[in-house]
Amino acid sequence: MGVSVGVTASAAHYLVGLEWRQALIIGAVVSSTDAAAVFSVLRKVPLPSRITGVLEAESGFNDAPVVILVVAFSAVGPVEHWYVLIGEIALELAIGAAIGLAVGWLGSFGLRHVALPASGLYPIAVMAIAVSAYAAGAMAHGSGFLAVYLAAMILGNSKLPHWPATRGFADGLGWLAQIGMFVLLGLLVTPHDLIDDFWPAVVVGLVLTAVARPLSVFISLAPFRLPRREKALMSWAGLRGAVPIILATIPMVSGIEGSTRVFNIVFVLVIVYTLIQGPTLPWLARALRIGDDPSEASDLGIESAPLERLRGHLLSVAIPGKSKMHGVEVGELRLPSGAAVTLVVRDGTSFVPAPSTVLRRGDELLVVATDPVRDAAEARLRAVAEGGKLAGWLGTGAQGGKDIAPLVDVPHVMKLAKKLGKGGEGRPGGTKAHH
């Protein structure tokens, strides 16, 4: 990020003629990629999980240090020592990270072990925990942005009750916040003032996109053995969105000279290069032969919804393309007692399966499980998805290594084999093996 800030600020100073303070603010503001823009584009571009993970992590983690930089550059007094500024940034990030991890873990632990009186309270509780993480980080003079991001990551990866409803509530609240944010940003823009700053924004954006972003990507990923074409795609995937525009309002609030022009340049830069980079990203991925067929995914998608009055859980299971559950009969899943496949959705048609029904890639299953065997049922489903119908054979167990009984009684089979070899009780119709 430091490379991107320095190169972009130099271009704003020498090519556009801005003062160093204004140039540094622009460099810091536009160096941050927008998480919402990156996530929305990556959902439509089937990229390998390694590239997607790096881009999503970058867009989420770079907001916190950028906010600190913009606030520092927008401060009324000059910064006396640069190393003091770096130390303060590192301290704020460390405090925010510690608080975010602590609040996220405590919140997920509490929601899993405390029964709230109504299911509608769970989404509100999750949002309250996220707000608490930001408030605690800010009150401790740490990075509230990093605190709430890490807390939200922990909550999002925890098996919380009523998670589908919570996710839907968060999506709706996010859309509402974005609508309000863009309305407010629109009130700050004067269209005829943007014309004068159009070409300066294009020049700064060109340097950022063609020089600063690729240079920072190649330097930061130098220790990792990634192909050049993947680095090139990551260089082009540095999308900007509403976050840089919001950050550009900080110097306006601080009363920095020339802050209005800084805001106009950032606004035009974000609009122009988002319209260029977003639509061309899928084309570039195909040109570089980087892609991943979403139908060939191997991770078994399982969503769980508790059935409170029935004291059970409803598991929604999607079978991806590479799953070894393809070709397995329902009876061969060997779910623990208390769990059963109640419905199969295939090609838009739902039906109640028989034990001999063969599962296929693309199927969606509804599995009902009682509270005691809910985790065991999910572990068994994941084991079959990774190991096929023989998962757990000869006592190897399911994924997780517990709660699933072996599929074969090994000592009994060995005794039976000896009897068959001696011509004893192992004749057809004699001793039966437990299957």
Contact 381, 340 (CB under 8 A): no
CA-nearest of 46, 11, 60, 62 to 233 is 46
CB-based burial, 127-155: b 16+ in 10 Å, e otherwise: bebbebbbebbbeeebbbbbbbbbbbebb
- Give the integer Cα–Cα distance in Å for 359 and 243: 45
CA-nearest of 158, 113, 150 to 133 is 150
Contact 26, 18 (CB under 8 A): yes
Token digits for 215? 């240079």
Is the pLDDT higher at 56 or at 421?
A: 56
The confidence band for 82, taking pLDDT boundaries of 50, 70 and 90, is low
CA-nearest of 397, 354, 355, 407 to 376 is 397
C-alpha distances out from residue 22 to 74, 111, 251, Å = 9, 46, 9
Q: What is the pLDDT of residues 234-265, one digit of tens each?
A: 889 888 888 888 888 988 888 888 889 999 99
Residue intervals of the chain classified under CATH 3.30.70.1450 are 296-404
Report pLDDT for 202: 94
Query: Which DSSP category does 212 fall into?
Result: I
CA-nearest of 13, 25, 96 to 259 is 25
- 333 φ, ψ to 5°? -65, -30
For the chain, how many residues are written?
435
Contact 396, 344 (CB under 8 A): no
- Give the integer Cα–Cα distance in Å for 391 and 323: 13
Contact 140, 99 (CB under 8 A): yes
| Alpha-carbon dihedral angle through residues 428, 431, 432, 434, given to the nearest 10 degrees | -150
pTM above 0.85, yes or no: no
C-alpha distances out from residue 257 to 74, 206, 260, 330, Å = 10, 25, 8, 70
CA-nearest of 336, 370, 333, 373 to 354 is 333
Cβ atoms within 10 Å, residue 38: 23
Q: What is the pLDDT of residues 283-333, one digit of tens each?
A: 888 888 886 655 445 556 666 666 666 677 788 888 887 788 888 999 989
**CATH number belonging to domain 296-404:** 3.30.70.1450
At residue 216's C-alpha, the angle toward residues 214 and 217, to 5°, is 65
- Give the integer Cα–Cα distance in Å for 384 and 369: 17
Would you state the CATH architecture of domain 2-287?
Up-down Bundle (1.20)
Strand ranges (E), 46-181: none
Q: How much is the average pLDDT of 382-387? A: 86
CA-nearest of 218, 215, 210 to 236 is 210
Write the CB contacts of 324 (distance below 8 Å, at least 6 apart in sequence): 384, 385, 386, 387, 388, 391
Dihedral sign for Cα atoms in the order 332, 338, 344, 345: negative
Q: How much is the average pLDDT of 377-381? A: 88
Residue intervals of the chain classified under CATH 1.20.1530.20 are 2-287
Question: Contacts for 69-73 with beta carbons within 8 Å, 24 or more apart?
Answer: 69/5, 69/28, 70/25, 70/28, 70/29, 70/247, 70/250, 70/251, 71/250, 73/21, 73/24, 73/25, 73/28, 73/251
DSSP secondary structure of 328-393: -BGGGG-PPTTEEEEEEEETTEEEPPPTTPBP-TT-EEEEEEEGGGHHHHHHHHHHHHHHGGGTTG
Token digits for 224? 């990792």
Could you tell me which residues are beta bridge partners of residue 302? 317
Most confident of 64-78, 218-232, 299-313: 218-232
Least confident of 162-166, 178-182, 277-281: 162-166
Asked whether the predicted pLDDT for residue 399 surpasses 70, the reply is: no
Token digits for 206? 């060109």
Q: How much is the average pLDDT of 187-205? A: 88
- 368 φ, ψ to 5°? -100, 130
Is the pLDDT higher at 91 or at 255?
A: 91
